[in-house]
Structure 1
């Protein structure tokens, strides 16, 4: 349920090649965006930029246009001319779409009602290595006007979709990626959401600005006290059988797995 890079995935417009390397240096992986971040008339230029630039293929993801579109075919041709093998497929709505990009490692972006409902089937495809959800496109697909309330919290619909994507990814044994926090100045809100994502089981959180990277990394990184408690529980379990008491807590198999997850996150520092 993890990815071969850290938790902060930074989007970079495909038509801004001068930002590619900087984005990769600042984040754990860069998502070169050929879709929403690029105007229709600039997409061919963005593809040319993608082919001409040489980034670390192990930490580079290319967001193509929706499967079935003319741009998607051109995007995939550009990807094939590079060493990049991670692609993000937006508006993912069916397992059949994933088969159209066989041979590539796919992060499926479920951001419509149909996509969220089809998430289990999408996640089961062998080339799909992760699921991500998108709040604003989801609400737009339903004719709504916003995924958040006035106080910045998600509406129940968005929270349901977020949980559905996490559960579908977990059931398939692949990574779940939390969506972007659009309010760049809202550091507290991003911190709360990223901490919740890490505690809930997301492998990563996507972001749109370099300043958000450190916030996400810190949220996914357990503090020293949390790591120490986890190590103590794991050490105590070595001499116990079944459920046991550790301090003031009873520890059973699920809590032991929680401790192991904390150690895995700490080892990614």
Structure 2
């Protein structure tokens, strides 16, 4: 009798919890709720490859292999010397105009501008957005304060760029300092709100810039990465709490592919959704490591099918593979299928 009452009570509580979670995911605009539709629209960014915006040879090489790369970042910032910034802007503009009609390639082309505090980000935006084709994704580095976001958004409002946002643009920001890390969730929530004031801009994720972060706090880089473990965990927590992609740091020694694999596996186990890379040889290892296994894909497909059947039957709670299913597990399943679809596994 006691066992049956406990079973009834747990099922009742789980059913009400799951139903409330589902209602929130379908009707709430809060960033903390689960929007299953937005999950299906998230661009795949397992590996993001930086290419100097002024290096036509490297850009051509990356574009030639674009089908094998999740995201190509045309860089105006750290990868370009100060005297070459203008060349980088013009080259990127030409690349966007030349290849923007190829939708599959265009979705993979991102542009990293200079930081708002640098004083030259406005020149980046003015030239890069002057062409017929607007970038699909903009990466904004060294975001330390809400003011950095306000300045970025304000430029779009004052210029005519906002009027041209006919398709979705993703914004990805970087955390690269102690103050930026400590205030990360407040800055991220503010970024979500500010993006909503534009026609068609979506805050998609956060990149952890480990090298600038270590320089800022006076830490010494190591192969084990103990000096940035807490920072990486904090980035993941903020991203997961706001449904953002979490992009892990660069593995600097691009010749050490075994070390790259170990760090990539660690990143996956921690909860990162992707990783930065600086050499084409790093791409296959990162993307394979961040690829869901066939077993995981089958698990996700079965869970979603069971969830849909439970909804048709009017059941709020259900058990799948011995687990009582809640919204976090359902969201995880949709994320797995989203990735699998984009890599042709579903």
Which residue is 1:32 aligned to? 74
Q: CA deviation at 1:260?
A: 4.2
SS at match of 1:192: helix
**Which residue, out of 244, 267, 278, partners 1:174?**
244
1:182-236 CA distance string (max 9 Å, x none): 1112222322333343444433222111111111211121222332344445556
**Which residue, out of 120, 135, 142, partners 1:71?**
120
Conserved 8 A contact 1:17-1:53 = no
Tell me the TM-score normalized by structure 2. 0.67
**Which residue, out of 182, 191, 196, partners 1:117?**
182
Q: CA deviation at 1:267?
A: 2.4
Q: CA deviation at 1:70?
A: 2.8
Conserved 8 A contact 2:247-2:273 = yes
Q: CA deviation at 1:12?
A: 0.1
**Which residue, out of 42, 47, 53, partners 2:89?**
47
Conserved 8 A contact 1:234-1:256 = yes
Unaligned runs of 5+ in 2: 1-38, 101-105, 157-168, 196-202
Which residue is 1:262 aligned to? 336
SS at match of 1:181: coil
Structure 2 distance, partners of 1:85, 1:259, is 26
Change (3 A) 1:32 1:263: same
Q: How many residues align?
A: 262
Change (3 A) 1:100 1:222: same
**Which residue, out of 148, 161, 178, partners 1:97?**
148
Which residue is 2:225 aligned to? 154
Between 1:192-201 and 1:16-25, the stretch displaced more is 192-201
Between 1:21-30 and 1:37-46, the stretch displaced more is 21-30
Structure 2 distance, partners of 1:120, 1:196, is 23
Aligned pairs for 1:1-269 within 5 A: 3-24=42-63, 25=66, 26-54=68-96, 55-56=99-100, 57-82=106-131, 83-102=134-153, 103=156, 105-124=170-189, 125-126=191-192, 127=195, 128-146=203-221, 148=222, 152-155=223-226, 157-234=227-304, 238=309, 242=317, 244=319, 246=321, 249-253=322-326, 254-255=328-329, 257-269=331-343
Q: CA deviation at 1:86?
A: 2.2
**RMSD value, Cα:** 2.5
1:127-157 CA distance string (max 9 Å, x none): 33211111111010012232x2xxx2111x4
Which residue is 2:26 aligned to? none
1:23-45 CA distance string (max 9 Å, x none): 24142121111111111111122
Structure 2 distance, partners of 1:48, 1:208, is 22
Conserved 8 A contact 1:220-1:265 = no
Unaligned runs of 5+ in 1: none
